[in-house]
Amino acid sequence: MAEKAILYDPSRCTACRGCQAACKQWWELPGETTTNIGSYENPPDLGANTWVKMKFTELERKGSINWLFTRRSCMHCTDAPCVTVCPTGALYHHELGFVDLNKDLCIGCGYCREFCPFDVPRFSGNALTATQKADKCIFCRDRVSNGLEPSCVKTCPPQALAYGDRDKMVAEGRKRVAALKQKGFANAYLYGEKEIGGLHVLYVLDDSPAVYGLPADPKVPAMAAVWRSIIQPLGYAAVGATVLGLGLNYLVARSLIKSEKEENE
């Protein structure tokens, strides 16, 4: 089955935030209490109940102010660090290529956000009461698994969002980048084609990633591989040794009690 991807073109985006509203409506996510922070952005950041958020950036170009819009959400990396470090397998790759989440397996350890180069996962619940769980965009898995578009794509009025086979979205993105360069946008770039092994949310940028608040060269943190190949196995070995030790201690204690009982009879 072909991997899927979302293509986001900021040059077509009007920042209506219909994608935000559609995401909340489809997944029945509650609204949030917000305050005026001196920006049109609302809410100010991603959250456990906000999986998609439009970021506004002011940029001066040739003496005039331009608005740049960035779609903040899980980027669904191919070499996803969150999948690598997740100790329970709660984060995993769906057969369509995106990063899915099984909240029933999540223990709220927070490693996914710690290692995410895009600072995406957020948490609900309470770590102290062991009820903390990760939350993020799950690519509308119920819709796409049944041949439908993600809710954000379906509702986008200016068609700034497109959805389809990843190779087709890459080809379309390249075509749009070429058109932008012909118009004089020398730094136009298809973000996500190769980053982190290839993203399943692609951006057609008319300027450098840094201008849009995106990491210019995101990488899988070196500690992610170390965590998975060394630290986690050592942790599992320590837990196993502890369980084994407790089991042996129980058997020895039981044997001693039995021996003492037989001697007293």
Which pLDDT belongs to residue 60? 87
Inter-CA distances, 249 with 26, 161, 210, 259, Å:
53, 61, 58, 15
Distance of CA 121 to the CA centre of its chain: 6
Residue 246: the pLDDT is 46
Report which residue type is found at 160. A
The full 3-state SS of 19-66, as one line of letters, equals HHHHHHHHHCCCCCCCCCCCCCCCCCCCECCECCEEEEEEEEECCEEE
Q: Output the pLDDT for position 242.
A: 44
* Residue with token string 């950041």: 45
Q: Would you say 4 and 197 are in contact if contact means Cβ atoms under 8 Å apart?
A: no
Closest CA to 23 of 47, 55, 1, 2: 47
Q: What is the pLDDT of residue 33?
A: 82
How far is 122 from 137, CA to CA, in rounded Å?
Answer: 10
Identify the burial level of 194 via C-beta atoms within 10 angstroms of its C-beta, where 0-12 means exposed, 13-18 middle and 19 or more buried.
exposed
Task: Please list the rounded mean pLDDT of every run of 10 residues in the chain (265 residues).
Answer: 95 95 96 82 92 92 88 97 94 97 95 94 86 96 97 97 98 97 95 97 96 91 67 49 46 51 57
